[in-house]
Structure 1
Amino acid sequence: MDSNTLFQGAVTVGVGALAGGLTNAVAVWMLFHPHDPVRIGPFWLHGAIPKNKARLAKSVGKTVGERLLPAEDLTQRLSAPEIRAAFDQAVTQGIEQLLRRDLGTPRSALGPDAAAVLEREFPALADRAAERLA
């Protein structure tokens, strides 16, 4: 094999690699750009991903919901006792904060006699309410 043939082969491979790399770079760029449609003569140029963003988001959401986070798995994990207890505690604290912010403490709305009765009877009342909710 002479040096001329080797040189021609190297140039051919180099030009092919350069053309392929440039084509791939343009193709990947065209997936994402331009974000907004651009008119070039009678043609509209718009990136494939921005153009189909709503359809793509819906498809990805459906796939995640069906394959990665099925409803049965979420239900099972969220009904675990420790998660349920943390949820109940967070809801209770949230309600207490709302009531304190809007109404003040219950004790401040009641007279001293009513507050004493409420303090004495509240634990039993809370237990009965919890049994009905369970």
Structure 2
Amino acid sequence: MDAFVQILQQALLGGAVGYGTNWLAIRLLFRPYERVKVGPFSFGPGVFVRHQEKLAREVARIAAESILTVDTLKEKLASAELREYFEDKLEGYLRAKADEEWGPPAELVPEELRREYRELVLYARGRLREEVDRFIESDEFARAVEGAVTDVLEHHGR
């Protein structure tokens, strides 16, 4: 039991000493703001206070060189992801404005023709789906895909 108490005392004492030295070190880094004289001892401004301008210049230089460069900015602005994002936003905005200005496309059709319009749209959707399915199942489509894949493999290597 005495060994446990002794180990606990040493741990607490070590923790207190470590806390105190860390507190003092941090305090001396940032303070005092001006030179303080205590008897024959003189304490100058803290390291960060004393070198504040130099530190600010170095941080700005590192940020300019490492974090945001002109090339990085150009690359990000020219990326396909950003272009796609803006295209989606623009399309959504234009659709909303068109709907706000003119209403949905079905509302542009005169009331007496709306039933025929809906039937025509449903018929066109069905025909389009059938034609796309027929084309995908055709030999022509298979040859087109095979040719495209071959071109990509030859151009970029296997």
Matches within 5 A, 1:1-134: 3-40=1-38, 41-74=40-73
Q: From the superposition, tell whether residues 45 and 74 of structure 1 become closer, same or farther in structure 2 (CA, over 3 Å).
A: same
- Deviating 4+ runs (over 2 angstroms): 39-45, 71-79
Higher CA-based Rg: 2
How far is 1:54 from its partner?
1.0
Structure 2: segments with no counterpart, 5+ residues: 79-158
The CA deviation at 1:37 is: 2.0
The question of whether the paired residues in 2 share the 8 Å contact of 1:35 and 1:46 is answered with: yes
What is the TM-score with the length of structure 1 in the denominator?
0.50
For 2:17 and 2:54, locate their aligned partners in 1 and report how far apart those are by CA, in whole Å.
32
One-letter identity of the residue aligned with 1:36: E
Q: Distance in 1 between matches of 2:8 and 2:77?
A: 62
Residues 21 and 42 (structure 1), Cα distance of their counterparts in 2 relative to 1, 3 Å cut: closer
Cα 1:42/1:15, change in 2 over 3 Å: closer
Q: d(CA) in 2 for partners of 1:76 and 1:48?
A: 39
Counterparts in 2 of 1:37 and 1:59: CA distance versus 1, 3 Å: same
For 2:24, what is the secondary structure of its paired residue? helix
What TM-score comes out, normalization by structure 2 length?
A: 0.43
Sequence identity percentage:
23
Q: Give the superposition deviation at 1:26.
A: 1.2
**Aligned residues between the structures:** 79
Q: What is the distance in 1 between the residues matched to 2:22 and 2:48?
A: 16
Ranges in structure 1 where 5+ consecutive residues have no aligned partner? 80-134
Q: Which amino acid aligns with 1:59?
A: E
Paired AA for residue 69 in structure 2: P
> Which structure would you say has the larger RCO, counting Cα contacts within 8 Å and 6 or more residues apart?
1
Partner of 2:124: none
Contact 1:65 1:71 in 2 (8 A): no
- Does structure 2 retain, via aligned residues, the 8 Å contact 1:31–1:47? yes
Q: C-alpha root-mean-square deviation of aligned residues, in Å?
A: 2.5
